[in-house]
Structure 1
């Protein structure tokens, strides 16, 4: 059994504030381009999964809304019309046309025509 008795506990305590700082930074970075509407592309990250209640993107959405930004969400099969006060849209063309910035975890083929307005950590596009 591993003994963590001598591991500094402040490392663990720093994780939550660090994650919050990162979400706030991302939201501020997105807003710096002055978008009227920010689109969140897919809350569901894993194929076959329909649980998006505990995703990190929720913190970014909350920060964007605190900054006064309108946020819409594209999801193929939304359970509801509204999530965290954001309209859910299941028509990709409408979503793309309404979004000034599209936030996506990964670049997908269906977003190739919107690369000029993408905000993503997937710089290489190697995931599709």
Structure 2
């Protein structure tokens, strides 16, 4: 397989192929790519009929489902709250700069091998939230 290189102009078609499950539920997965039908000169390319190039190959496995407790109590029983004072400033010192849209972490708790969090979309972004199944800034905060 070879790296998938994005052109300076134009696009790349991507195809993900997932194989049949084996006895353990694992499946092969392959990622292919080819240039968009239009080439860099703006002339008609190959109509998207060029050969697909293999860029990645791997295996998918079913997730292990635990019989975890239902979160009917919030915050979770036995979890201890983590103070968040200065968390974004500390992350910035580590090289992670979060602008106002991505500062949605409100509260967090640690359980036994688990982290629980309350996140909220900043008020300025709430009007556009309906455009997404899950707003990217909210996902990032989580």
TM-score using structure 2 length: 0.19
Larger Rg: 2
Structure having the larger proportion of residues in strand: 2
TM-score using structure 1 length: 0.21
Q: Larger relative CO (CA 8 A, sep 6+): 1 or 2?
A: 1
